[in-house]
Structure 1
Amino acid sequence: MEVNNPTTTESPSKTPEEQATPILCTHCELPVPKGLIELDAEHQFCCNGCKTVYEMIHACGLDPYYALRQRADAQPTQAKTTDKKYTEYDNEKFVDLYTHPLSDSRRAIDLVLEGVHCAACVWLVEKLPQILPGVLEARLNFSKALLRIVWEPGQVPLSKIARLLDSLGYPPHPAQSSDASLIQTRADRKFIIRIGAAAVCAGNNMLIAFALYAGMFSWMEDEYRTLFRFLSMFFGLIALAWPGQIFLRGAYAAIRTRTPHLDLPIAVALIAGTIAGIVHTLTGSGEIYFDSLAVLILLLLVGRWVQHRQQRRADDAVQLLFSLTPRTARLLDSSHVQDLNSQEDDANRGGIEVPIESIKTDDLIEVRAGDTFPVDGIITYGSSAVSQAILTGESKPIPVQTNDKVLAASLNLSSTLHVRVKQTGSSTRIGKLMQFVEQYAQQKSPSIQLADQIAGIFVITVIVAASLTWLAWLYLNPATATEHAIALLIVACPCALGLATPLTIAAGIGRAANMNILIKGGAALENLSTTKNVENQCSSKPTIFLDKTGTLTRGQTTLRHFHAPDSLKPAVFLTEQSSSHHIARALVDAFSVDTNIINAANDLIITDMAQHPDGGIEAIIDHQRLTIGSPSFFNAHNINITSEHQSIIDQSAADGLTPVVLAYSHDKNQSDESIGVCTFGDALRDDAISSIASIQRLGWNVVILSGDDPAVVNDIAAKLNIPHNQARGGLTPEDKLNIIKQHQSDTSAPAIMIGDGINDAAALAAADVGIAVHGGAEASLSAADIYLAQPGLSSVLTTLALAKRTRRIIRQNLFISLSYNLIGVILAALGIINPLIAAVLMPISSFTVITLAVGGNYASLKKSIQQLDLQLNTKD
């Protein structure tokens, strides 16, 4: 079967000069570089990955994929394949960790796939059982790119399934499962079922109540009235015994621990109302309260669910560790150790991929260029450049060689290394850092809400008031004593008090989410809002500590200056496309926005290229030699750097930038002199200067904490008008953590940490409020209380305004609910309202609180922000 691909209608046998339009790749429909065009070939491919994927799809008879992709209007995307063999997938340890048995002959595994981008991908992947015997089921969750595979290990090994997925353009990775996450998921489901049961009981009881209340004003036969009362009791008892038992258990725990808790008056009201309702149902006289009690249980459960969802932290150090380091390592033994003079390429060196759990101290592993180190260890062979930005925040790569130490989670940039394992798992530096994160996240207790502060007094007051009411009416009118005491308990039930804080917080978090500010819980909002008068309470200002790389700056190497002829750009772009070095990626990213450069590059032909491990790359392009490298590479290869270019190099070093030198020569054998210099660095975010100035005008002290070179940090601080003594460079993650702890021990002023990297995670967890910025690493997001999903720091000002408003609404709602309960208690104690009226009045306070909590619109928040802006302008 041939593919009906409209992109190949032009005959590929024509010369490039005869082509009216660029030749497009048969698989991905992107332009084919001139150097890869095969004039006599029927199909053209822009890269080997697309060619491999097309051949596999065609061989399996899955050509309808292309028609489906066209109908899905998917964006052109190059196919990604690897040379991995996936032998570690058949390892016994791997099977135990990532798969689970369904029967004696079947197992299942969840795989995260790269390259999933449209509905056609779903169709293609789910055809797996038809093309590979032994695969019984393949179900792909498109939104998560999560594939569930069910297969028979006796018929097909898992490694073969993984290789097939890879050859289709979807390299797989095992999805990390978590027992704690599964337990939490089950608990969440049980709670939702509990809420559903409460809703069923409340709904049925309300329908029955309508019939009974209607019967009060029209004639109803006694047998039907009795039937409805018993049905109401039936649903009321179910509501109390099943969904309502959570409050009974909470009350029992409060009594046992002698700690007053809001569950105690709730349980007293539920039990008293239920007993009174049962007595009245059995005697056939008096009011029953099962409808009100069932609705009360439902509302309280919903409020508790909201609070539970907003305050729960599902992260731990083990999950963070798995997100930072590879799950496999390439294990070498004595027969695989490469001879130093060997010319074998990386793909033929041997070694086997094994789960990281199988690696032990003193094992020898291989880490290739572009891979992340899975362990802490010592280099035994090779030299390379390593990026430790994820650990230290240092943006410049560090050269390493034999006998140097390397750390897990850092990135190998240049060439293959052999590493002797010294620490694995939680014993590595990154593992210990994640333990700090977990420790301080647990120690940082939530801010004490006003509802909790008054809970003990409220509980005791309500119970004492109900007892005194019963005793007083027992003396005045014994027949109504119990009725008035029950009325007091019902009307004073702290439903609104329990809902006030979580619903207001939930509403504030919802508003923030719509403004690209993600907040984990109310503690962060309250801690931010308590800074208003802190300057008058202590000698030290509230302080915001900021990481530099990725927070104040863009967090990635970018091309800052191109001091060379523009005519060189296409050749540089074409040459650097094949390199994985971060400098090469920066050049490609900078030039890829210019279609003229891309089109010109497609007209060039590379006949030879060599990438040197000592920091340079050379290519023969249209019979001319292009050399790109560091100044030391040029000196080592005796390529002259002109005095003009040397001055640029010296100035870039003083500015904290990285210089790269260019040479272009007609001599294919040797470049004789530099022709230009490119400089690279990490640029300030666009809003950094204005945002820092606004934060300082609000009274905050701003301090930079960075792992970068102190000279670079001081240069950034000067641009941001931050005092020299408030800019700290060359810091380790532990240093940042200690600075936060020292600030907290020296002063009561709050410490706010804003960062994006793994090196900030422990400080984010230890700070009073941790804020992770857009583009941050997963561990920093997990450790932080607030995540700014929008690039830049301007969202910090919006967050401050939101925190202030949310705290004001919480106080307002607590005041209203307490005032309402106080009035209701007085009326019930005086005998003015009976249990029926109390049951009607009780939900009104909850409705009022809900309306105030969620009924506000964005205009009020915008007004707060406008007032903040006005305040800043006035201070100017």
Structure 2
Amino acid sequence: MSKQRCDHCHLEYDTSILLEDVHFNPPKFFCCKGCQGIYHLLQEEGLENFYEKMGETTLVPPKAHLEESVRFDLEGFVSKYVKQTPEGLSEISLIIEGIHCSACVWLNEKVISKQEGVVEVSINYSNHKAKIVWDSSLTKLSKIIEAIRSIGYNAYPYDPKGGEERANALRREYYSKLLVGVFATMNVMWIAIAQYAGYFTGMQENVKNILNFAGFVLATPTLFYTGSVYFKGAYYGLKNRYITMDFLVATGATLAYSFSIYAMFSKSAEVYFDSVTMIVTFVFAGKYLEVLSKKKAVDTLDAYGGVLPTEVLVIQGNEKALVRVESVGVGDVIEVKAGDKIVIDGLITQGEGSFDLSHLSGESEPVLLKKGDKLLSGALCLDSVIRYEASSTFSSSMLTRLVALLEDALSKKPHIEKFANQLSGYFSRTILFLALCTWTFWYFQSGSFETALIVAISVIVIACPCALSLATPVATLVGLGLAAKRGILFKEAGFLESMAKCDTLILDKTGTITKGKPDVVEMKTLKIVDFSLIYALANASNHPISQGVVRFIKEREELLHVKALEQIKSFEAKGLSAVYEGHVLLGGNAKMMQEAGIEIVLEEQFDALSHYFFAIDGELVAIFGLKDSLKEGAKESIDALRALGLEIIMLSGDHQRVSETIAKEVGITTFKAGLLPDEKASYIETLRQQTKKVVMAGDGINDTLALSQSEIAIAMGSGADVAVEVSDIILTNDSMKSLHDAFVISRMSLKVIKENLAFSLLYNVVTIPLAMSGHVIPLIAALSMSLSSLVVVGNSMRIKHVLKGL
């Protein structure tokens, strides 16, 4: 027997006991799981040169299970792939290999959830990504991985680059199996034609025997090589007492194959090797196309994670050093050149350049950023060299958070998908029961074992739980991918379904309908005033009105002396007060002035919509008039939203005249002005008590309460962090058009999901009785089963084409 070296420890073993790993090209061979695990670990950690330094040295092979534990529990592995939740639990995203249907998902979720310390597990059928949350003090990750492998599946940490390699390896494996099936099918069809012709015109017995044997030769590799994926799935399903779709295919093909062998030797009946070959090939072809379709849909989402560099150039004094992104701290100065991708948020300190923000906003138009501008991770530097100061760590940067949101969205299922999975769970057992009843009926009806068996096989093969399983996840995946491409990030896949059912849209005014950056258009000073005082007080507030005054003074006054104010107090939705050298300063709106007993007299009509009043020691000193402009396309987007049948309401903290003017400009008839944050929340709560399903879009801290009360909360990407945290959907490009697109995508996705479910159920309701009545041969059953899955996938892809005009 020939020997070959293990690719890790370099010891020689008989080829019969070596493990072949097809994830590498060319394939690698290992003497045990331990060596295989270490080889994977070195590859993932970028330590491929270990084997160059090792040379021809041999290693002592470790115990397999011990090595597995060491691999997944290593500090480096944990720091790279395992995240900590706010509750102190551990969380990881894994790719589970070997999943073929919803039964596989159910089985893995069941086994993993039974492990001690596992708090949450959710597996997405479309991309086989599992999100697992566990208490590391009760169990280790290695134990969870061992549980997955004990039921015949394999698990690797999710990594966009590694995922691409594994997806390509799987595609190559499926492609080679499909080639074998197609080759055998093409040849077995010629044999079948000859057999059918001989059946009617007469054929010598020895010729018939040769053709039967030729059919056997072609059917055998097709069944056991191309169809091996079904036998493997059926074995592990039975091992765990679960009937899967793989079991149905394997059972139908094996029964036809076994009966054909009996018929070939006994010469008492016709053989069905052609049906065996075509059943396996047609069903496998459908599965291969599913793999291609799902991979294409996942590419858009994985593109977010794939753009993250691992190192950045940090300026340390007069030197430059490449530093791992995890090691960069707040305040470090980073240099980027043309073609570099930004991985950590910050503020530009030197230079200016054009940046591609398409990964964040979905807009392909470059944006010019200069000194003092905010730079977000995910941006691509298109020209020049700039330096910027990190304002966050890698883990808290925008793109890292967006990737985490997308991973969470993929791992959480909509309610309608959970229903479909429950339904498909009972489906396979029902089909086996119906097939048994069918065989019994036809056997006693016709007295022919052959007739009864062929009809029963048709029933098993034509049933398609796969289409039912694909109905929701593929459509959801396409919807999420399309939304992400347009700068719309759903935190959970289930929010697609929830948003599609909403009938009322609440819009905050400032920062949502308007740009949220009002500019000073008029100013009146009643006394000689030190603008440095106004600047200092206004700059203590992040309110858009105050910041508009800050920008105006900064541009108007060349010399501003920084004033150190004392006893700064904020008055919600009114303004600020402070003390400077014993003088009381007030800055805010008219309501604040009136409550302080300060008389407001506007001798001339201001053209502005908003006002900022500044007073010293109870005496009005200056008045600023500001105007906020509508966001580009706001009116058109609101008209389009109304055309969808939505009731649109605007809520604002500004006074009546400002709110009324903006509402008229965009065509909103229902609005509420002068509302405090808790009043906005109460208004939404009242609407929900009236059975309204409410979507709220806002961007500020003052919108947080209202967002938390709505069915679906949407945060504009430029909004406050707290608003983003409580939201369900984030519009990274701040566009009103994206708000309209989000509604269209969610409604279209839900519509396609319902169409898929309806088609899947109708297909089975129509075809199963046809097969039971003997009107469908196994060959047609296999073809129709495969086509039903492809119809579901194709209909899901239709979401992209329908929305091209948006």
TM-score normalised by L of structure 1 = 0.46
TM-score normalised by L of structure 2 = 0.50
